Amino acid sequence: MIFRSGFRLSLCMLSLFCMNVSNVSAQELKALHQDLDRLTQEVESRVIEWRRDFHQHPELSNREFRTAKIVAEHLKKLGMEVQTGIAHTGVVGILRGKPDGPVVALRADMDALPVTEDTNLPFASEDRGIYNNKTVGVMHACGHDAHMAILMGVAKVLSQVRGQLPGTVKFIFQPAEEGPPAGEEGGASLMIKEGVLENPAPSAIFGLHVGFDPWRMISYRARGMMASSDGLRILIRGRQTHGAIPWRGVDPIVVAAQVVMALQTIVSRQVPLTATPAVVTIGSIHGGNRGNIIPDEVELVGTIRTLDAKVRKDIHEHVRQIVTKIAESADATAEVKIETHGLPITYNDPTLTIQMTPTLQRIAGPDNFNANRNPLTGAEDFSFYQEEIPGLFFFLGTAPKDADPETVASPHSPRFYVEESALIVGVRALSNLAVDYLFLQSASKDSDLDSAMP
């Protein structure tokens, strides 16, 4: 359930932190924790109201106009410096505490999915939108409505204690986490390109994701938490002929079948599975239009998921070699395209993770805490921030109380459900992470604490 030796090290880090701040500062921090708990309880009902409103009025990627307006107005009412229109519809709020202190960022995603809701909730979405030139149902089927409501609650809480903050908190409300529409840029990568990690520049970033983990459970792991996601497209070219005389052509369908089977040996035979998991999946095959005609070409489309940067590179090389060599052996040709600019690994910085583990354990309690969570082969564009600065991303269980997580609808399902009584834990977690990180960074400046960090 815990980090083993890493957890003991995290307690040492907390002890070092306490020794390197004055007794007055330690007392102030304890009192501030109590204030955060009280203010969080006060904002809980509003968090649920915000979540329900966002859920009932979802908006697709790069089209979060109503959502962004609500977020921006909320942050302005709290007296923050507010920036809008970043990466199309992104909103940033800057809450300044002590001048010249450290800066920390908190992020929530805003976009919904092209999914028709099937939950029977009184605030279920009935909205429709345009996705890939088609009219579709729209639903917050991945919990982004909860993420926004939680972060708005955090903004409310921290704005009420800004005079006690030893630095600055940057609130990032990000569009298009699920990916921008075809032909557009968006998401975390565009926010970074447009300067979201500058002026002021945070030295760390925190984020969370609600899901089907047990109710109120906080879980995460150091290093690879969620997989990189690279799109794979293979075009095999043969030579068309009549199906009755296949020897007069080159059959790309047979080549494609051999390729699909051979690609499965990459993970089973060429990846150290005891060290890190990986996935190579072909999810779509298109070729031909008649049963008695061998076509000129076949297209295969798939995805590659890895949790280690070296394994990611190795798999790309294996895919290219397997596909081209099999095609050559059949006198066919093959073109392999891998989206090397897909989503990176969601990588929790080990030092930051150890530093903040006492905070998350204190918030979750011993029975709802897991710092050695199994990694997921799903992907998250929070990873782009983590490529720039240290980041910690964790999961908050929002499955119904006493529910079996194995039977609860997963994210992206039309029946995805969020138990709202767990949202308060997310507000407490992000509020306390921001405060504790700022105090830790402030203390390290005065005490050379960094030299003691692993």
Asked if residues 397 and 420 have their Cβ atoms less than 8 Å apart, the reply is no
Burial of 29 (0-12, 13-18, 19+ CB in 10 A): buried
Give the Cα-Cα-Cα angle 203, 161, 106 (nearest 5 degrees).
Answer: 30
Give the Cα-Cα-Cα angle 143, 303, 249 (nearest 5 degrees).
Answer: 150
Asked if residues 39 and 428 have their Cβ atoms less than 8 Å apart, the reply is no
User: What's the pLDDT score for residue 451?
Assistant: 42
Asked if residues 88 and 65 have their Cβ atoms less than 8 Å apart, the reply is no
User: What's the pLDDT score for residue 5?
Assistant: 40
User: What's the pLDDT score for residue 330?
Assistant: 97
Each residue of 368-402: b (16+ CB within 10 Å) or e? bbbbebebbbbbbbbbbbbeebbbbbbbbbbbeee
DSSP conformation class of 164: G
User: What's the pLDDT score for residue 386?
Assistant: 98
Beta-strand pair 204-211/103-109: parallel
Residue 213: name the closest of 346, 396, 418 by CA: 396
User: What's the pLDDT score for residue 449?
Assistant: 41
DSSP track, 50-108: HHHHHHHS---TT--HHHHHHHHHHHHHTT-EEEEEETTTEEEEEEE-STT--EEEEEE
User: What's the pLDDT score for residue 273?
Assistant: 87
Distance of CA 389 to the CA centre of its chain: 15
Residue with tokens 């991945």: 142
Below-70 pLDDT ranges, the chain: 1-24, 446-454
pTM of structure: 0.90
> Domains, the chain, ranges and CATH?
5-225+345-452 (3.40.630.10), 228-338 (3.30.70.360)
